[in-house]
Amino acid sequence: KNEVEQSPQNLTAQEGEFITINCSYSVGISALHWLQQHPGGGIVSLFMLSSGKKKHGRLIATINIQEKHSSLHITASHPRDSAVYICAVSPSYNTDKLIFGTGTRLQVFP
């Protein structure tokens, strides 16, 4: 079993829909990251969380440390949001390391 699990693996949506991507992890962490990987492969950091909630534009990330769970929400989705969204955690035993989930492939259709 992977230490970081994401769901769903694939997600399609119509433009304007509210989207939720979930991440569960099994190790103690110092931080959790949400990353966006574009079709060309480039990776952009969206959020780094250690508690609570963060918001940036139409993106919201939440984390529940007790339940070892995080969610990434996209409001008013747009075709340009189509990408792979990756959850990654920095484990407490090695805070420089990142353990990645397998990603959620999102396609938003106009």
Decide the pairing of beta strands 10-14 and 104-109.
parallel
CB of 9 to another protein, least distance (A): 9
Closest-CA residue to 26 (of 97, 92, 104): 92
**Does 41 interact with another protein (rule: CB under 8 A)?**
yes
Beta strands 59-64 and 52-56, pairing class = antiparallel
Work out whether 1 is an interface residue with another protein (CB under 8 A). Answer: no
The residue (of 67 and 96) whose beta carbon lies closer to another protein is: 96
Tell me how far, at minimum, the Cβ of 16 lies from another protein, in Å: 28
d(CA 13, CA 38): 17
Region binding another protein by CB under 8 A among candidate stretches 14-22, 58-66, 68-76, 99-107: 99-107
Instruction: Tell me the torsion sign for CA atoms 13, 75, 5, 99.
Output: positive
Footprint of another protein (CB under 8 A): 33, 35, 40-45, 48, 86, 88, 96-98, 100-103
